[in-house]
Amino acid sequence: MNKSYLIAAALALAVTLWMVAGHFTGTPRQEEAVEAESSQAPEPMTVEVRIQQAKRIPRYIVAQGQSEPNRVVTVRAETVGRIAEVVAQEARPVKAGDVLVRIEQNDREARLKQAQALVRERERAYEGANRLGEKGYQSQRLLDEAFSELQSARAELEEIRLEIANTTIRAPFDGILEQRRVELGDYVAVNGEVATIVDNDPLIVSAQIAQQDIGKIALGDVAAVTFATGQSGEGRVRLIAPRAEASTRTFRVELEVPNPESRIFSGTSAEARLPTGTVLAHFLSPAMLTLNDAGELGVKTVTETDTVAFHPVSVVLSESNGLWVAGLPDEARIITVGQGFVREGEPVSVFLADESRVVPEGSVGAALLSHTTLNASEATR
């Protein structure tokens, strides 16, 4: 009985060892199949590319600023009196020499006549003294006194004439009467404020330029200017500050913008585009931009050997429907779909994009393309 048990145990052990040996030791054909399967390389990812040539475009410094009047002046009274007449109206254009207001004459006309009479009297006295002096009947001292009195009378006459002229207050230059500070019947003293006149032609646009860019600008440069009102114009650089602002390290730059009829108002925000030369750049969608492991902004392309390359780029110009970037080769095979699924140096399968349909990364079209690519790869396997 014991002998039978020993034989059964030995047979069970032999069967177990045979099964284990068969599991770990395959046939030569099985080993070859496994080895071939492990050596087979995965299919490369399929990406969509667009072949694009760089274009030479102008490079700009874009500066935010504001518009300012060419001149602003507060007109003041040069004589005292009550306002007798108001001529100019607020917010209306005025020409140089136009009457703004008039001040009452009071006794000025009477003083003028008195001064004129005194001058005539002194002139006759001086002429008589001069004739007597020529004959030797008048001393030089008396002749000098007569001449001095004549000059004094003439000065008084000129003074009253100037005072009368100052009762009519006029615009010093062409502009717009922004504010009138007096009304009919108001009393004004010498140096009293009468009106404020603004000259908006040309309009001045002032902006602050960073210290690293100020050397790229010169007097006379022409810039495109866009105002917050939607209006636009061209401005010529008329001033570059010789010293930077201590707090911001920026330089004040002023541009003259022709403004006939003062259609553009001063005080509005403005954007100036100052050209600084040209650069070769590519126009593309912001969705094509990506970051490498170092955090650099760039664009992925495909080389002639169908491997992925990464190019750091800089944004040259921003537009409403895309960006102009510099840093790519003159002719580049830019990955338009799939750049988020491949890495630099990785081989890829390429097909050209339909120029009428560029699918941005992250869009529904990109997701569908990725799904199709994965299915194709699985089918080939």
Each of the 381 residues of the chain gets a pLDDT tens digit; together they read: 455 666 666 666 665 665 655 544 545 555 555 455 555 667 888 999 999 999 999 888 989 999 999 999 999 999 999 999 999 999 999 999 999 999 999 999 999 999 999 999 998 988 887 877 776 666 777 878 888 899 999 999 999 999 999 999 999 999 999 999 999 999 999 999 999 999 999 999 999 999 999 999 999 999 999 999 999 999 999 999 999 999 999 999 999 999 998 899 999 999 999 998 889 999 999 999 999 988 899 999 999 999 999 999 998 888 888 999 999 999 999 999 988 899 999 999 998 887 544 434 333 333 333 433 333 333 333
Residue whose tokens read 């700009």: 60
Which amino acid would we find at residue 218? A
pLDDT for 158: 95
Question: Which of 182, 11, 163 is CA-nearest to residue 82?
Answer: 182
What pLDDT shows up at residue 86? 95
Compute the CA torsion angle 11, 14, 16, 19 (nearest 10 deg): -130
Q: CA torsion sign, 340 to 344 to 345 to 350? A: positive
Q: Could you give the CA distance from residue 28 to residue 33 in angstroms, rounded to a whole number?
A: 9
Note the pLDDT of residue 231: 94
Rounded to two decimals, what is the model's pTM?
A: 0.63
Alpha helices in 136-212 (DSSP H): 140-165
- CA–CA distances in Å: residue 364 to residues 295, 337, 361, 369: 26, 11, 9, 9
For residue 44, cis peptide bond before it (omega within 30 degrees of 0): no
Check residue 128 and give its pLDDT. Answer: 83
β-strand pairing of 71-76 with 203-210: unpaired
Give the pLDDT of residue 374: 37
What CA dihedral angle connects 62, 233, 286 and 348, to 10 degrees?
-100
Three-state DSSP state, 333: strand
- Rounded-to-integer distance, Cα 118 and Cα 176, Å: 43
Measuring CA to CA, how many Å separate 49 from each of 135, 192, 267, 304, 350? Answer: 114, 74, 48, 12, 7
Listed residue (253, 245, 244) closest to 218, CA to CA: 253
pLDDT at position 379 is: 36
Alpha helices by DSSP H, listed for the chain, are 2-24, 28-39, 108-135, 140-165, 364-380
Q: Which of 235, 175, 203 is nearest to 67 (CA)?
A: 203
> Comparing C-alpha atoms, which of 164, 191, 186, 188 is closest to residue 105?
164
Half-sphere exposure of 75 (CA within 13 A, CB side): 28
Using DSSP bridges, classify how beta strands 203-210 and 222-227 pair: parallel, antiparallel or unpaired.
Answer: unpaired
